Amino acid sequence: MRGKNLKVRLLIGAAIALFFVFKRCSQQEVNPYTGRTQTISMTADKEIAIGLQSAPQMAQQHGGLHSNNQYQALVDNVGNKLVNNSIAKDTPYQYEFHLLADPNTINAFALPGGQVFITYALFSKLENEDQLAGVLGHEIGHVLGRHSAERIAESEYWQGLTTAGSVGADMGGLINNIGQNTLLTNGRDDELESDDLGVLFMLKAGYNPEEMIGVMEILKAAAGPNRVPEFQSTHPDPDNRIEKIQEAIEKHKNQ
């Protein structure tokens, strides 16, 4: 009887796993802006809706929007210049750029669909407009690369396999660990792809992409000696990013 129950569990687990494998295969599509095949489970309109819905909450978590209109205008001008001089303008996304009041958290991020944020803590450390372009270009790269939508779809896939493993053979923990490591690796790849796109956007808009290396130095200094090792982080080590940025500059500057 016990062997029969195990067999039933294995069959159910296999059926669940097959469902999620077939679902993932049906969600494969080529990103027309990067040429990369991705797992995507939502439309661009859904990405835009998620971003617009989440933007007020994200701003609130960082002390709201910064009150200096001149600083905000600079962020808008640089962001729009990057969009209007690159393939980003041909996407369906609604790019909006927000300077957050947060004076302590050195960060910039993008929500699905085109909502881009930079904290005053990072903004205040930037030395010139080109470095600001480097930060915003990187975040535009995340939007155009559909990285959030891809991570959502991939997370759903690994959660499904974890469920299948738990039902079928008590292997949910192992599959979950494999999935987490895969998502971490993919996250680092997203950062490098966004750096590459950011370099391209900067060149197209007339900015000096070498200044993106300066941004990496700022982030490296901010992280200090106790920064998380690369294999435990969604972000590549700043030194590795600098090397890849230099390669991207060589690749794109003659295009």
Q: Using one digit for the tens of pLDDT, what is the confidence trace for 96-125? A: 999 999 999 898 989 889 999 999 999 999
User: Could you give the CA distance from residue 131 to residue 125 in angstroms, rounded to a whole number?
Assistant: 10
Whether 96 is catalytic is: no
Q: What is the mean pLDDT of the chain?
A: 80
> Domains of the chain: which residue ranges?
13-252
Tens-digit pLDDT profile for residues 178-208: 434 533 444 678 888 999 999 999 999 999 9
Residue 182: what pLDDT? 38
**Is the predicted pLDDT of residue 236 greater than 90, yes or no?**
no
Polymer length in residues for the chain: 255
∠ CA(166), CA(158), CA(19), 5° rounding? 75
**Cα of 29 vs its chain's centroid, Å:** 18
The string of pLDDT tens digits covering residues 40-78 is: 777 889 889 888 999 999 999 999 999 999 999 999 999
How far is the first Cα of the chain from the last one, in angstroms, to the nearest whole number?
A: 68
pLDDT digits (tens, 9 = 90+) for 80-94: 999 999 999 999 999
Say if CB 83 and CB 89 are below 8 A apart.
yes
Helices (H), the chain: 2-26, 44-61, 69-84, 120-123, 129-144, 147-169, 172-204, 211-223, 238-252
Which of 29, 129, 139, 243 is catalytic? The answer is: 139
Q: Is 254 exposed, middle or buried (0-12, 13-18, 19+ CB in 10 A)?
A: exposed
